[in-house]
Each structure stands twice: as structure tokens, then as C-alpha cells.
Structure 1
Amino acid sequence: MLNAFSGLDQMKLQLDPNNYEACPTYNEWLDEQYSEQTGGNLEIFGFQPRPSFVLFTMSPDTYEATFSDFTQQREEGIKESVCNQFPSPIAYYFYRFENGYESDLQRLHLLRDTWESVIDILHALAVAECRHRNIPVVDPLKFKDLFTDSVAQRLENIEKITSQLSAAGIFPSVAKISPAATLAAMKELNQSRNAFSHSAAQSEVQARSWITECYVDVVEVLADLDGLEDIQIVRYLGQVDGTTLRCEIFRGHSSTRTIQNIKISHQQMLESAKYFQQGQMLVIADGLIFGLRPLIYFREDGVGHSTRLCIFRKTRGEDPDRRLEYEVIGEATRHEESRKNFATEINELRGVFGLEAE
């Protein structure tokens, strides 16, 4: 888990030799190291000072020198958790950013894909809960804004949905994962970092420079979004019994198909029964189960041996041939589905905006 490492307010962690409280997470780490090495707390005739404070006071040079060990272990812990525990779109692109690139230009694209995948997942979660709660939505949020290809607009949508659900007395799942301060930092970074835009790097040198500029920011956002470890994105396959779902799980960077039984409560079964149908993509978050269609879908290969998640990108066509275009995770390709395949979900979303069914 990343809990010991989270805190966007400590982005680009630094020490202050005159202020012990400058980096609380470092002090906690030092205390944990001492406890692990000795099997207990530091105690002097019943007095139990914090080992980190003793080190800060008695040997400031050692206190400062050990900081590099902390930051390295912290970064490795973040990367391991993202690659193995985060929803697969984020994990896949970040793993390739770390381990599967052929050039710095390609690596820059993988960093962008990681960043966009974080926003895609948060946005899909926010929209899914908005539909599930069926609470009326008002200006300034508009129905058409949900089907945007703008990263900035998706961040705005998350903020507006969170605000409106909160005003209705609901603390939405996405707000627990991405508090207001984190979301504000993400919006600021999205506006200020060239590497997050799709302007093309002109050279390997420029790509490398942009990666250097943005890498720490992305890692700190990922650390602060450690709640993403606790959600499950799954494809519904069937039910073993009334409270046991059979699902394909999309977690971590591996593309190996994973199918598991998921035990749910009787209350969850009653509240989310309408989603338990073939072809449904679900998210299990904060004890609730929502349907993720149409923003997240899937595509199987011809013989059903592998499944690729598909992330909504844009709308296509006009009546009677309106389509949704998806990015296929792990493939350099796009996939289109008829809008009619998602009529139920789209009309439910239209309903919360007070619009008639299509």
C-alpha cells in the first residue's frame, strides 16, 4: 500500500535542517526502520523519544544523508504498487514507461498515456456514480461534456460531478480517491506542463527534457491517488449464486486473463442487480458497484482467449449511424461501437440531466 507515502503537499520532498517537521513522511519512515531493525521502540528509562527526532537532534548529517535512501525506497514502492495494484490501463502504460520503451519519444508518449489513463479512470468512476445515484444534475455541467475528448474537460467534469453529488449529501467515491486538493493540483499540472499536451517533441533530447520536467509530478499524483489500489474494474461473466459474481479482473500491468469469484453482500446484490448482465463493465469502489459503460468497454479477440479494455475517446457519425470510438489498451488501434449498443446507459445519463431519451 502507498498510504505511508501519500501526500501531494509534499511534492518534490525536501528537508529543512532547521525544521524537524519539514517532512513528516520521512520521520515516519525513520521510525519504522528503527522499529524493524530492533523489534521495538526506542526507550530510555521509560522515556520513548522518536528515533527520527533523536537522529535529527544528535546527528543532523546522518539524518540528512539517509534522506536519499528514503526517497529511493519511496519511489520504488510507488512504482511497484502502480504496476501491480492499480487499474490495468494506468498500470499497463506506466509499466511500459518504466520497462518497455524503445526511445525517449516513445517513452514520452507512454508518460502521456499514463497521465490520461489516470484521468480516464477517475472520470469514468465519477460518471458511473452519477448515473447510479440518479440525482438530477444542473448547470454548469452539461450532458454533452461527458462525451469529450478533452483531458481538461474531463477534469472539470470530475470536479463538477463531485460538487453536485456533495451538495446532495453524498460523498462520492471519486472524491475519496482524489480529494479537492489533489484534483486542483492535477488541473494545474495539466495546464502548465508541455509534456501533458499533444504537441510533438521535435527530438529525443526534447522528449527526454519533457520527461525530466514531468516525471516527479506524475509520480506524486500517483502516490496521492493510492485509493485506486482499492477499486476493482471487472467484466461481469455470470453468477455462481445470488451473492457471488464470476468476473474477469483488470488490475496491474499484465495482460494475462484473470477470472475470479467475487463475494458481494445481499445489499450490494439488490442495489446493483441491473448491472449483472453479459457485456457489462463494473467498478467495485467504496462498497458500491456501478456500471462503467459506455465510458469503459472491452473487446475480445476472435477466439475469446484475451480481453482488451477499451476507453472512450470520441463520438462519431450522425443518425442513424452514430458511433462511439474507443482506444484499445495495449494496441495501437481504435475500435468503434454503435451508440445503440449503449442506449440504456446513455438514456439513464440523459435522465439525470432532465433530457428525453434518444
Structure 2
Amino acid sequence: MKLQLDPNNYDGCPSYNDWLDEQYAEQSGPLDILGYQPRPSFVLFTMSPDTYEATFSDFMQQREEEIKASVCNLFPSPIAYYFYRFENGYESDLQRLHLLRDTWESVIDILHALAVAECRHRNIPIIDPLKFKDLFTDSVAKRLENIEGVTSQLSAAGILPTVAKISPAATLAAMKELNQSRNAFSHSAAQSEAQARSWISECYVDVVEVLADLDGLEGIQIVRYLSQVDGTTLRCEIFRGHSSTRTIQNIKINRQQMLDSAKYFQQGQMLVIADGLIFGLRPMIHFREDGVGHTTRLCIFRKTRGEAPDRRIEYEVIGEAVRHEEDRKNFAMEINELRGLFGLGVD
């Protein structure tokens, strides 16, 4: 997946060509030869291949830094938090490996939650091979299959789902392949610092390239609904970037969004605002406040457990090395709506 130059194909790396053109324009203005304005990158490619290739490493380094800054500052908080710690907050390579693994799983968690939320919002019946129980899997590989399956079924209904715009089929296929082939994403433990470094080195570039492909995640907002200022202004807590500092903002919506998503505008609801639509993310994403209400931690679904009448949903608390449990009954409305998509009765 790493970007590479092809000495026989000028169009092999369009982003590098754009970068070269921008560098030339910043230093010298547009290239103009008696009114003819060729692309500087194409001139270099055809007339001086060595010069064309010479600054590729500079381009890649700048691009990597821009990707990392984007992920840490603009991506949804679970991804941003773990990736920032992978880059800046680790005490050992073994811990760093775990943080890279957490970053990877958080990407899949967010895409999966978005796919399930849109499916419920649009109320599109789901057919084989997807099963209701598969939505509540603790398998990363199965969640990737769910994303693919939901995308396929919504597309068959004439809907291009938001998750498909963020993660096109080629990107999702690459993620599935990487998830199967990279030691860093398995749940086997590295036996030493050296092995941890080796596993990180093995997949780091691939992870960065996946994050680059998923730059559409910059455009979504994961929020906790607090109240409404008026009919088209929501008061929400925002979960974007790596910082855990509480951020509360007014969010303007239009009348159609208000009508389509009014049922989600209740205390305790986690929402995603994406592609002009507003979905409810429960039960895949929840939250937990500290005892005095100063800090809110996002909680990501991990698994279900227990038998009736004491059935529980277990969450991972982002930023804390703990799990948090909620009574399954607290999500009865959302779960029953999901069951209805599969033609099942109430939970």
C-alpha cells in the first residue's frame, strides 16, 4: 500500500506530482514558456528523471507528518487518543505495540459502529449471510465482514452508505488482508522488546496508509447529546482529537435533519453527524462520566455476556485500562430496532 514511484508511468503517484507542482509554484510562480504552461512535475519526469525522484523522500516525510497531525487532531477521539499515545506516550516498545493494535481496532470499531447505526437509521431489512448475533461480535475480523456486508446490502437497496464513502471497497479489502497477515494485529503477545519493534516496523507504513485512505473520518463528528438551544441547534459534547478536555459546542442542523433524527435527541444518546445525516450510535458506542461530571470517557462495545434476566454489555473505556458494564435493558429500544431489521421479535 506504500506510495511508490514508477519510472515508466508519470501517473503512478499523482499526489507526488501535485506536491512537486506546488513546490515549484511557491518558489517561482507558474511555469510559462511563451504562453505554454506545462506541469513542472511532468517536465522533470520526462527530461530529468533523477531530479524527479530526488525529492520523493522529502514528500513522503512531509506527507507522513501531515497524516499524523490529522489523525491526532481531527479524527474521532478513540482513534486519535491511541494513535497519539503510540507516537508520543509510550514507556516501552511492548506498550507501543499494544497502542498500535488499539489504534487499529479503534478504526474498525468506529467504522463498524457507523455502519450499524446507518443501517438502523435507514430501517433497511437485512438478509443472509448477515446475522443479528454477528453485530455483537468480539472478533475484529468479523466486524470487518459486517462492515462489508452492511455496505453491500445498503448498496443493493440503492443507498451509498456513509461508511462506504469513508472506506471504499479497495480500502476495506486492504484492511481485511492486513488484519489477517500482520502479527501486530493478532492477539498473541510479543515475547520481547525486540520482537515488538519488529512487529511495529512490519506494519507501521501500512497503518499510516490506511489512515490516509480514511481521511473522510476527519469530516464526521461523534457527539453526546446534552440539550437543544432551539429547534435547529443542538448542544453537544464533542469527541474529536486526542485531548480528553471536555468540549461542548452548539451544532446547527437543518429542519430536515431535525425531522429525520428527532428520536435521537434525548439525554444519554451518542450521535454521529456524517454526510449530512445524524444517526444514533448506541449500543455500539456509549459513555461514562466521572463521579463529579468533569470528564466524559467514550465506551466502545466489546462483548455481551450473561443470561436473562441479568444480561450485560461490556465496554472498553477509552483512556482507561478498565472495562465498564451496562445492563442490556438500558439499550432495549436500539437492540429491538436492530432485531427488527432481521425479522426478529423483541429481545
- 1:88 is aligned to 77
TM-score, length basis structure 2: 0.99
- Within the alignment, does 1:66 sit opposite 2:58 as a pair? no
- 1:256 is aligned to 245
Q: What SS is found at the alignment partner of 2:32?
A: coil
Q: Which amino acid aligns with 2:22?
A: E
Which of 293, 299, 316 does residue 288 from structure 2 map onto? Answer: 299
The residue correspondences of 1:315-326 to structure 2 (distance < 5 A) are 315-326=304-315
Which of 11, 20, 29 does residue 30 from structure 1 map onto? Answer: 20
- 1:289 is aligned to 278
Q: Which amino acid aligns with 1:17?
A: P
Q: Which amino acid aligns with 1:32?
A: E
Q: Counterparts of 1:99 and 1:55 in 2: how far apart (Å)?
A: 38
Q: What SS is found at the alignment partner of 1:310?
A: strand
- 1:337 is aligned to 326
Q: Counterparts of 1:199 and 1:183 in 2: how far apart (Å)?
A: 23
The residue correspondences of 1:174-323 to structure 2 (distance < 5 A) are 174-323=163-312
Q: Which amino acid aligns with 2:239?
A: F
Q: What SS is found at the alignment partner of 1:257?
A: coil
- 1:6 is aligned to none
Q: Which amino acid aligns with 1:86?
A: F
Deviating above 4 A after TM superposition, structure 1's stretches of 4 or more consecutive aligned residues are: none
Q: What SS is found at the alignment partner of 1:335?
A: strand
Per the TM alignment, residue 125 of structure 1 is displaced from its structure 2 partner at its CA by: 0.2
Q: Which runs of 5+ in 1 are unaligned?
A: 1-10
Q: Counterparts of 2:314 and 2:281 in 1: how far apart (Å)?
A: 15
Q: Which amino acid aligns with 1:288?
A: L
Per the TM alignment, residue 291 of structure 1 is displaced from its structure 2 partner at its CA by: 0.2
- 2:89 is aligned to 100
Q: Counterparts of 2:169 and 2:113 in 1: how far apart (Å)?
A: 17
Q: Which amino acid aligns with 1:15?
A: L
Per the TM alignment, residue 298 of structure 1 is displaced from its structure 2 partner at its CA by: 0.2
Q: Which amino acid aligns with 1:133?
A: R
Q: Counterparts of 2:80 and 2:181 in 1: how far apart (Å)?
A: 24
- 1:5 is aligned to none
Q: Which amino acid aligns with 2:260?
A: E
Which range is displaced more, 20-29 or 236-245?
Answer: 20-29
- 2:119 is aligned to 130
- 2:99 is aligned to 110
Which range is displaced more, 172-181 or 50-59?
Answer: 50-59
Q: What SS is found at the alignment partner of 2:102?
A: helix
Per the TM alignment, residue 22 of structure 1 is displaced from its structure 2 partner at its CA by: 2.4
Q: Cα RMSD (Å) of the superposition?
A: 0.8
Per the TM alignment, residue 133 of structure 1 is displaced from its structure 2 partner at its CA by: 0.5
Q: Which runs of 5+ in 2 are unaligned?
A: none
Q: Counterparts of 2:124 and 2:53 in 1: how far apart (Å)?
A: 52
Q: What SS is found at the alignment partner of 2:91?
A: coil
How many residues end up aligned between the 2 structures?
347
Per the TM alignment, residue 59 of structure 1 is displaced from its structure 2 partner at its CA by: 2.7
Q: Counterparts of 2:39 and 2:168 in 1: how far apart (Å)?
A: 30
Q: Which amino acid aligns with 2:19?
A: W
Deviations 1:161-220 (A, max 9, x none): 011111111110000000111111100110111110110000000000000000000000
Per the TM alignment, residue 13 of structure 1 is displaced from its structure 2 partner at its CA by: 1.7
Q: Counterparts of 1:155 and 1:22 in 2: how far apart (Å)?
A: 29
Per the TM alignment, residue 54 of structure 1 is displaced from its structure 2 partner at its CA by: 1.5
Q: Counterparts of 2:137 and 2:149 in 1: how far apart (Å)?
A: 15
- 1:172 is aligned to 161
Q: What SS is found at the alignment partner of 1:84?
A: helix
Deviations 1:292-330 (A, max 9, x none): 000000000000000000000000111111000000000
Per the TM alignment, residue 55 of structure 1 is displaced from its structure 2 partner at its CA by: 1.8
- Within the alignment, does 1:21 sit opposite 2:11 as a pair? yes
Which of 124, 131, 142 does residue 131 from structure 2 map onto? Answer: 142
The residue correspondences of 1:152-167 to structure 2 (distance < 5 A) are 152-167=141-156
Deviations 1:205-245 (A, max 9, x none): 00000000000000000000010000000000000000000
